[in-house]
Amino acid sequence: MAGPVLEMRSIVKTFPGVKALSDVTLTVRQGEVHAICGENGAGKSTLMKVLSGVHPHGSYEGDVLFEGETCRFKDIRASEQHGIVIIHQELALVPYLSIAENIFLGNEQATRGVISWNETLRKATELMRRVGLHEHPHTRVADIGVGKQQLVEIAKALSKKVKLLVLDEPTAALNDEDSGELLTLLAELQSQGMTSIIISHKLNEIRRVADSVTILRDGRTIETLDVKAAETTEDRIISGMIGRDLDHRFPERTPHRSETSAAPALEIRDWTVHHPIDQQRRVVDGVSINVRRGEIVGIAGLMGAGRTELAMSVFGRTYGRYAGGTVLKDGREIRTKTVPEAVAHGIAYVTEDRKHYGLNLDDTIGRNISLSGLGNVARRGIVDEHEERKVAERFRKSMNIKTPNVAERVSKLSGGNQQKVVLSKWIFVEPDVLFLDEPTRGIDVGAKFEIYTVIDKLAAEGKAVLFISSELPELLGMCDRIYTMAAGRLTGEFSRAEATQDVLMRQMTKDKEVTR
């Protein structure tokens, strides 16, 4: 067995009022893919920031040894000079520069300060071929998908003669096909001698690609396991992550659907939306769905099926060009042409992209929670900060948002806790109907269960929930009914008893409407 290429010994990292890492130890062997997993806030990203020099030597306790040498990195450039390159979940690419320019950004192929574009293009082409990226090197990064952007980041890392590649949640924003291709690339790089660390919440991916997995909990190392060993099951990893056995991935669900004789809480009839640029293209094509009070209704579909476009266009027409259709609330037609109109009618939308559309990352937790209903904490047009803080504290406790103070900036929270803030923001306005778009994307199994419990409670209170998710087990575990979409069209509707992964996938890959 190969010896260690990386050792992190007794790492302690403290922020004001918070000990993020406490005596963490990590050993990575030469040539392996080593996974790190743990709940949001367990310290995974903080540990990698210590390794990469984001948190420089002197700001933490403990030792970092790479290739047997004690390292005292003062910044990222110092760690990269040793061959340690980290790819963060938020990609560090410039969208309006070309692929080639991004690959060598900060590492330009220059002689005496003059860039050699021939050399840049030649080397970029070689690196792109190595990672399986078949675009032209002059293509702008803004014009390729997120999956291909990940490949640009890996090519960029390879250009720096990387010895240890660290990927932080590399597949969080990818569809299944792109995720599979990225994991295949990791295996190919490993066969060429590359050592990698992958941080992921997706346990099936860890079992597929990793050799070892280190589990962190509350800033401490719990254990390191051999992924290939028979006893290293998903349940064993989950138990280590959350400190208890998770007998059920989803809360016990008792459907709370209102009387079928009552009008649906929300009904969408023959809804059609055109693409915002290509106005001949229908991204939502004659879709009709409904959801009753107390019901959780899922919407399943592959990337590009039109699920998010449907939700956004109904919620204040925030996507595309409206081409037809009606929205009814409790049997009466309503107007939702603007977001304030939709909110006034009791409709809320939890976006799939919390960092860009769901939160103001530069503001406090308290202000983010109150943003959707400032009128509820204002007197004569002036926000009552004491009342705002009381509301935020109530949600901090009821949603179990892990923070010492609601006056903290929301950017300091882990992904799972940020998602709880987004949910709190919309629950605060007491909506009747909630669109939940990928509400558990990028968060760990423990935080997922907490959010599932919140969703189930909302349904029990009589809310109508439309649940969009790319994870079929999640829809099957949470929903009373599931609609399937493909290419902007509705392709099926299934009760809880009828739905299986095979049935849903067949309908999700159809290209024309199926009538029940």
Residue 392: exposure state from Cβ atoms within 10 A (0-12, 13-18, ≥19): buried
Please compute the mean of the pLDDT values over residues 226-233 and round it to a whole number. Answer: 89
CA distance 426 to 373: 8
Helix (H) or strand (E) holding 129: helix 117-131
pTM (whole model) above 0.85: no
What pLDDT band is residue 511 in, cutting at 50, 70 and 90? low
Name the percent of the chain lying above pLDDT 70. 96
Tokens of 323: 């081409």
CA distance 44 to 216: 7
The pLDDT value recorded for residue 173 is: 67
Single out the residue of 92, 25, 95 nearest to residue 64, CA to CA: 25
Which carries the bigger pLDDT value, residue 3 or residue 481? 481
What pLDDT band is residue 211 in, cutting at 50, 70 and 90? very high
Helix (H) or strand (E) holding 84: strand 84-87
* Res 370 pLDDT > 50: yes
Q: How far is CA 295 from CA 307, 369, 460, 477, in A?
A: 18, 25, 8, 13
Please compute the mean of the pLDDT values over residues 30-44 and round it to a whole number. Answer: 87
Instruction: Could you list the beta-strand ranges (E) of 248-301.
Output: 266-274, 282-291, 296-300
* Res 74 pLDDT > 90: yes
CA distance 217 to 243: 8
The pLDDT value recorded for residue 261 is: 55
Tell me the one-letter amino acid at 506.
Answer: R
Find out whether 348 and 435 touch, Cβ atoms under 8 Å: yes
What pLDDT band is residue 163 in, cutting at 50, 70 and 90? very high
CA distance 255 to 464: 12
The pLDDT value recorded for residue 52 is: 92
The pLDDT value recorded for residue 416 is: 80
Single out the residue of 361, 351, 421, 412 nearest to residue 391, CA to CA: 421
Q: Is 377 helix (H, G, I), strand (E, B) or coil?
A: helix
DSSP 426-484: HHTT--SEEEEESTTTT--HHHHHHHHHHHHHHHHTT-EEEEE-S-HHHHHHH-SEEEE
Single out the residue of 368, 324, 352, 323 nearest to residue 466, CA to CA: 352
The pLDDT value recorded for residue 244 is: 60
CA distance 474 to 352: 15
The pLDDT value recorded for residue 404 is: 82
Q: Taking CA 100 as the corner, what is the angle to CA 99 and CA 105, rounded to the nearest 5 degrees? A: 100
Alpha-carbon torsion 176, 178, 179, 181, what sign?
positive
Q: Which of 13-27, 237-251, 472-486 has the highest mean pLDDT?
A: 472-486
Which of 31-45, 202-216, 256-270, 334-348 shows the lowest mean pLDDT across its residues?
256-270
DSSP 86-122: EE-SS----TTSBHHHHHTTTS--EETTEE-HHHHHH
What pLDDT band is residue 61 in, cutting at 50, 70 and 90? very high
The pLDDT value recorded for residue 241 is: 81
Write down the residue that tokens 């308290």 correspond to.
Answer: 366
CA distance 213 to 34: 6
Tell me the one-letter amino acid at 470.
Answer: S
Write down the residue that tokens 């790479």 correspond to.
Answer: 66
Q: Is 33 helix (H, G, I), strand (E, B) or coil?
A: strand
CA distance 289 to 327: 10
The pLDDT value recorded for residue 246 is: 54
Single out the residue of 314, 306, 325 nearest to residue 508, CA to CA: 306
Which of 166-175, 220-229, 330-339 shows the lowest mean pLDDT across its residues?
166-175
What pLDDT band is residue 22 in, cutting at 50, 70 and 90? very high
Which carries the bigger pLDDT value, residue 386 or residue 251? 386
Single out the residue of 186, 197, 170 nearest to residue 29, CA to CA: 197
What pLDDT band is residue 111 in, cutting at 50, 70 and 90? confident
Find out whether 119 and 72 touch, Cβ atoms under 8 Å: no
Tokens of 511: 């290209």
CA distance 96 to 105: 13
The pLDDT value recorded for residue 180 is: 84
Tokens of 310: 């449907």
Q: How far is CA 57 from CA 50, 108, 396, 423, in A?
A: 8, 27, 34, 38
Q: Which of 5-19, 178-192, 283-297, 429-443 has the highest mean pLDDT?
A: 283-297
What pLDDT band is residue 338 in, cutting at 50, 70 and 90? very high
Backbone angles phi, psi at 156, to 5 degrees: -60, -40
State the pairing for strand pair 347-350/33-37.
unpaired
Number of CB atoms found within 10 A of residue 332's CB: 10
* Res 347 pLDDT > 60: yes
The pLDDT value recorded for residue 5 is: 94
| Complete domains list, the chain, with CATH | 4-242 (3.40.50.300), 266-508 (3.40.50.300)
Q: What is the pLDDT of residues 408-445, one digit of tens each?
A: 899 888 778 888 899 999 999 899 999 999 988 777 77
CA distance 179 to 184: 9
Q: What is the pLDDT of residues 277-325, one digit of tens each?
A: 777 889 999 999 999 999 999 999 877 789 999 999 999 998 889 999 9
Q: Is 511 helix (H, G, I), strand (E, B) or coil?
A: coil
Radius of gyration of the chain (CA): 24
What pLDDT band is residue 245 in, cutting at 50, 70 and 90? low
* Res 54 pLDDT > 60: yes
Tokens of 88: 């963060």
* Res 257 pLDDT > 80: no
Backbone angles phi, psi at 359, to 5 degrees: -135, 155
CA distance 209 to 265: 45
Name the percent of the chain lying above pLDDT 90. 51
The pLDDT value recorded for residue 1 is: 52
The pLDDT value recorded for residue 513 is: 43
The pLDDT value recorded for residue 256 is: 63
Mean pLDDT, the chain, rounded, equals 88
